[in-house]
Amino acid sequence: MNARQRIGVIGDNGQGKTTLLNIVSGQDRNFSGKLQNQGKIIFVERLNRFNDLSGGQKTRELIEKALAQKPNLLLLDEPTTHLDEKNIKWLLRELRNFSGSILAVSH
């Protein structure tokens, strides 16, 4: 990926979108291919469970923490899950201003 590039991957459940993010982030230990990573990569995983915060609050908190780390590549798995319209607008604004590259998956 080039600097400030935005790539979206869309597909049905079970088609390998999250697996792709796990490979790029280095979390898939079974991947036997080669990747050239240059710079900091942050993976914001999709939330399935949350404790005291609402799902939207927790999602926003995780994305805020990831952006604060100023990664070169931000990996987002279903980033609008649990977000209301106000927070989706916030997310879009933040991603437009983000200086790194983004790889996001959704269905």
Please give the tally of structural domains in the chain.
1
Distance CA 26, CA 57 (A): 27
Confidence of residue 16 (pLDDT cuts 50, 70, 90): very high
CATH of the domain at 95: 3.40.50.300
Query: Do 101 and 1 contact (CB within 8 A), yes or no?
Result: yes
Spatial neighbors of 46 by CB under 8 A, at least 6 apart, are 18, 77, 78, 81
Predicted confidence (pLDDT) per residue in 44-102, tens digit: 998 877 677 788 899 999 999 999 999 999 999 999 989 999 999 999 999 999 999 99
Per-residue confidence (pLDDT) for residue 23, from 0 to 100: 94
Residue 34 falls inside a structural domain: no
Q: How many residues are present in the chain?
A: 107
Cα–Cα dist 32/104, whole Å: 23
Is residue 49 situated within a structural domain? yes
Q: Stretch 27-53: mean pLDDT, rounded?
A: 86
Domain with 50 in it: 6-29+39-106
